């Protein structure tokens, strides 16, 4: 994937996959991540139900997928980026937000929370050092600090 700018924030290929398509949690049937608008009913990899469409174009969805071993995932609730956002734009925007000023810290794993609005979409990014461990749209509106985070 080609990105447009140099960032100090790092999104590894595995993390990019988690953010965009979702990732199996260990050997369980749970999924974490999954925020690409390519997660939709037109994609044969997923079965999707849209719960809510927000004013910023993001959507709250519930989805399932089939794992390579044939098991079906548990239902995952996720907020996906607007339909017109490419995967490259999503990752670039996460890097841009991650290069900002942290607004919270989680002592338990020494991670930092970043939040900003890119093209009208509010995005939260969690990093350990320069490495992104989570990045997602919030669905718009004001959100408090996620559980475990304190103001920086």
- pLDDT score recorded for residue 5: 61
Distance from C-alpha of 104 to C-alpha of 146, rounded to nearest angstrom: 9
Q: pTM to 2 decimals?
A: 0.91
Distance from C-alpha of 120 to C-alpha of 97, rounded to nearest angstrom: 13
Q: Which residues contact 35 (CB under 8 A, 6 or more apart)?
A: 19, 20, 78, 79, 80, 81, 90, 135, 136, 137
Mapped onto helix, strand or coil, the DSSP state of residue 54 is coil
The 10s digit of each residue's pLDDT in 125-151 is 999 999 999 999 999 876 788 888 888
Adjacent-strand bridge partners of 31: 24
The 10s digit of each residue's pLDDT in 79-114 is 999 999 999 999 999 999 999 999 999 999 999 999
């Amino acid at each position: 994937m080609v990105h447009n700018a140099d960032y100090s924030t790092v999104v590894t290929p595995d993390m990019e996959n988690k953010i965009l398509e979702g990732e199996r949690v260990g050997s369980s049937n749970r999924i974490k991540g999954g925020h690409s608008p390519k997660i939709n009913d037109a994609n044969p990899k997923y079965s999707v139900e849209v719960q809510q469409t927000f004013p910023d174009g993001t959507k709250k969805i519930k989805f399932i997928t089939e794992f390579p071993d044939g098991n079906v995932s548990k239902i995952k609730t996720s907020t996906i980026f607007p339909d017109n956002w490419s995967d490259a734009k999503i990752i670039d925007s996460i890097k841009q937000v991650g290069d900002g000023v942290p607004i919270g810290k989680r002592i338990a794993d020494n991670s930092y929370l970043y939040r900003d609005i890119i093209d009208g979409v509010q995005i939260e990014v969690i990093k350990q050092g320069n490495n992104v461990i989570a990045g997602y749209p919030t669905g718009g509106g004001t959100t408090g600090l996620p559980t475990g985070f304190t103001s920086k």
